[in-house]
Structure 1
């Protein structure tokens, strides 16, 4: 088997659903073709805890040698892959979740003060909990508690997991310095990326042109595309399409609105093109996604 991705290496597997976007899974490298999982990315944060053996884990341009009892924080939208160390198998638990579980809604004080400094830090790809610092042990303890909660599946499962995720984030916030030294050109480009993302967030429901985005950050169209792909690891307009798809999910599962109206609200002029794009991003049609999510939550 192998991780299923689209042509831009975005993983197609759902990590939970809109109402509780979290997935905890037991993994083993030997179950993948070539004893490794391919490069891929997803919009969620991923926490990886090695439970047996060792593995080589790569995130963007960083490489980690993870041993049993160690863990790794992979930020949202980072490319990552994993393989065996010296042909030895490795078992690990993956905890993948949408950061909105932590902050509830954008521009809340929780988002602005505690979450944004991590997920909006374009130079922060990963954090390795290799037990070299005392607080790493507390992180590992919390991850093991989340795994136990998942195994027990009590009636208060979602609340119990959320409490532990908040504990995890508190420890992270109190101990990890998100201010990293970067060069002036890099800092300028990061600001450009943030400005592009802000522009997309405000205008995704309307028609967006490359000229508008380039003018917004005062550079030429070619440089705009180059910088965005360099730092976000995805072409600019592919990102906009996937952002629109993500924004449409709430209406799909919380309203009885037609697919055509939902598509229009998300910035698609053609409902057929919306459905075509939705399938490429999510691996199913909007209607199938709606039925599957509603059935799961009954």
Structure 2
């Protein structure tokens, strides 16, 4: 299986659409250069584990932020909203594995699923777990992740068995040692549901003139509660998230179409061309025309 650059594509609910592996072997390995393309907010029904290979990253999951250095990692449970961004100006990379829990747990009536997977998947106090090499069980969990990663990428005979065995050992460490989060699970779950609803609304209406009041109304909450949810769950404001979604879509159109920059701006909800240029530069470090030129030189268009 070739190692891939992760291209996160999400639906209207911020649920990732990318298929990870195959139905017979539901696992995939990725590498990400966060300076080139951060991992945006998304969620999926699969489990994920990542390890920083270079630089320092800001990993966010379930409303919490984690500063991770080279050699440190993060386990992310199914259904948890998460994203990753660079924290330093130099190279900033990570590699990850995304896999369906049935790869390890088998059928729902198996002892593996009922005794180990199901309790982990349904525990709202365990949305994620930081993995640091200074803690023995966390180091062992990352070692097992790396074994599974190498097995899947190299595809030597029997690699499927080796990957599943390593992931089983990794999950055993997590089930046995990962501490519960000291939080209010019901409140966190309610906020997560509201955020997913509001992200859906933004995905559906980003090209329109959208207000905070409209975003809040989509989840049947007040504007102030909307602001609190965005701040607590994803560390930004509704307007900033809306701007980022618009510029992300604009970047896709710049690379994938021959539309004029002004047409792209209008399609993405920017009525003022100069504001579009400023907003795009804030996110991508260059103007839209320069971004398209660089993409063409790199062969992306």
User: TM-score normalised to the size of structure 2?
Assistant: 0.58
| Candidates 140, 143, 161, aligned match of 2:163 | 161
- 2:241 is matched with which residue? none
Contact 1:77 1:232 in 2 (8 A): no
Q: Deviations over 1:238-292 (max 9, x none)?
A: 9xxxxxxxxxxxxxxxxxxxxxxxxxxxxxxxxxxxxxxxxxxxxxxxxxxxxxx
How far apart are the structure 1 equivalents of 2:62 and 2:183?
A: 17
| Candidates 137, 146, 149, aligned match of 1:147 | 149
- 1:173 is matched with which residue? 175
Count the aligned residue pairs: 194
Contact 2:73 2:132 in 1 (8 A): yes
- 2:125 is matched with which residue? 123
- 1:7 is matched with which residue? 12
Contact 1:60 1:79 in 2 (8 A): yes
Question: 1:22–1:50: structure 2 CA closer, same or farther, 3 Å change rule?
Answer: same
- 2:52 is matched with which residue? 50
Contact 2:9 2:16 in 1 (8 A): yes
Residue segments in structure 1 that go unaligned for 5+ positions in a row: 194-226, 239-298
- SS at 1:31 equivalent: coil
User: TM-score normalised to the size of structure 1?
Assistant: 0.59
How far apart are the structure 2 equivalents of 1:17 and 1:10?
A: 18
Contact 2:29 2:153 in 1 (8 A): no
Shift of 1:3: 2.3
Q: Deviations over 1:129-180 (max 9, x none)?
A: 02342211211211222222233211212111111111111222232345x5
How far apart are the structure 2 equivalents of 1:113 and 1:231?
A: 27
Establish whether residue 106 from structure 1 lines up as the match of residue 108 from structure 2.
yes
Contact 2:50 2:96 in 1 (8 A): yes
Contact 1:24 1:93 in 2 (8 A): yes
- 2:63 is matched with which residue? 61
Contact 2:46 2:79 in 1 (8 A): yes
Q: Deviations over 1:81-136 (max 9, x none)?
A: 11111323311111000011111111322212111121101222110002342211
- 2:88 is matched with which residue? 86
Contact 1:15 1:22 in 2 (8 A): yes
Establish whether residue 74 from structure 1 lines up as the match of residue 76 from structure 2.
yes
- SS at 1:92 equivalent: strand
Shift of 1:234: 3.7
How far apart are the structure 1 equivalents of 2:108 and 2:59?
A: 31
Residue segments in structure 2 that go unaligned for 5+ positions in a row: 1-5, 201-301
- SS at 1:30 equivalent: coil
Contact 1:26 1:92 in 2 (8 A): yes
